[in-house]
């Protein structure tokens, strides 16, 4: 692995969940449409959305905002 490879991997690991979350929650796109646009499987989309929601929850908790 090249020295830059971990940085590239980290970049995409952060961006892909955000993109999936945006398409689903903001753009209100259907699963099939998102999968086609991102060239991923429905299973992978589920993983990306799970990661994005977890990050959002963690961020909100750090700011003192929790679910009631």
pLDDT tens-digit profile of 6-58? 766 676 677 999 999 999 999 999 999 999 999 999 999 999 999 999 999 99
* Pick among 1.20.1160, 1.10.10, 1.20.58, 3.30.590: CATH of 10-61: 1.10.10
CA 11 from centroid of its chain's CA atoms: 12
The model's pTM:
0.79
């Amino acid at each position: 692995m090249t020295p830059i490879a971990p940085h590239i991997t980290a970049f995409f690991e952060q961006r892909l969940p955000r993109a999936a979350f945006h398409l689903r929650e903001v753009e209100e796109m259907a699963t099939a449409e998102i999968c086609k646009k991102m060239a991923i499987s429905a299973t992978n989309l589920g993983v990306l959305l799970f990661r994005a929601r977890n990050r959002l929850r963690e961020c909100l908790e750090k700011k003192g905002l929790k679910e009631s």
